[in-house]
A and B are shown apart, each in its own frame.
Chain A
C-alpha cells in the first residue's frame, strides 16, 4: 500500500505522519509538495498532515485549500481514494468542502496540547474497523482552532448517517462535557464524508503510533486503512 503525505508551507507533522505509515505501519510512503499538480498512480491514501499551513493566515486551512495539489486531492477523494486530514489537515478538508462544518477557535481561547481520550463512534469505517470496539484511545491534540461547529441539521445528518468517527470522552469512555477539550459540538473529534473514504480528525494519531513514545493507540487507524485495502 502507498501513502502520500502532502507538505504545505507550514506543515509540521508531515514527518510524523511519514514515520507512522512507513516505519510503524511498514508501508510505502511519499511526500507530495503542495504545488505538485498530480497524485502519482498507485497512491492509495493521501494524508493531509497537521501544522500551520500558510501560517494559519485568514483562517486555518483557508489558503491551503487553493494549493494546486488540493484540486487533485478533491478528484482523488471523489474517485473513492482514501484521504485522512489530521488537525490542520481536518481544517483544510472543511475549508475545501470535502467535509462539512468548520473548526472555530477553542472555547477557552487557548492553544491546547495534551492527551485526550477518544471513543470510536463508527466502528465499521475504513479508518476504524481495525480498532477494538470498546477500546478507549489515548491520542494527543495540539490546536488552537479545533472547536468543531456545524448547524444542527448537519449534525443530525452526521449522526443519522453514522459519520461521526470519534468523540472526546473521559478515561472510562463517558462522553461528558468535562472531557470536551475545545467546545466541539457534541464532543465531536472526527468525522467522515458521505462515502466514508475521507476522515478528518483534530487529534494526532501519528503522534501516538510508535510504542517507543509510550502509546501507540493511533496506529490502529492506519492499520484499519491498510486492512481495508487488502
Chain B
C-alpha cells in the first residue's frame, strides 16, 4: 500500500453565476486591471490517500468528491494525485 498526496479543486459549475468571482472581477477592474476577466472562486482540498496505485487513489478521491467533497448539482471538481 502506498501513500499518495492528492488535491481537489472545486468550482461552481460553468453556467452557474459565481457572484463572488464576479465581485472580485469588478474590484480588479476598478483598480485598472482591465485585462483580467472570467474570475471564478472555488475551494481547494488537500488530502492523503492510501492505495496500491495512483489510479486507484484517483478513483477513491473521485468517490469521495461525488459523495461528500463536492455537490455535483452545483460544483465541478478536478483531482490531482501526486
Q: Which residues of A contact B (CB under 8 A)?
A: 58-59, 62-63, 66, 94-95, 101-102, 104-105, 107-109, 149-151, 183
> CB within 8 A of A102: which of B19, B20, B69, B73?
B73
Give A94 to B23 CA distance when docked, in angstroms. 27
- Interface positions of B from 28 to 42, Cβ below 8 Å from A: none
Distance between A181 CB and nearest chain B CB, rounded to angstroms: 14
Residues of A within 8 A of B74 (CB): 102, 104, 149
The main secondary structure of chain B at its interface with chain A is mixed
Looking at A94, A95, A104, A108, which has the most chain B CB atoms within 10 Å of its CB?
A: A104
* Interface assignment of B71: CB less than 8 Å from any CB of chain A: yes
Which of A62, A105, A149, A183 lies in contact with B20, CB distance below 8 A? A105
Q: What CA separation (Å) do A66 and B68 show in the bound complex?
A: 9
Chain B: interface residue total (CB-CB under 8 A) = 11
**B68 close to A109 (CB less than 8 A):** no
Contact yes or no, B68 A101, CB < 8 A: no
A149 proximity list for chain B (CB < 8 A): 16, 73-74
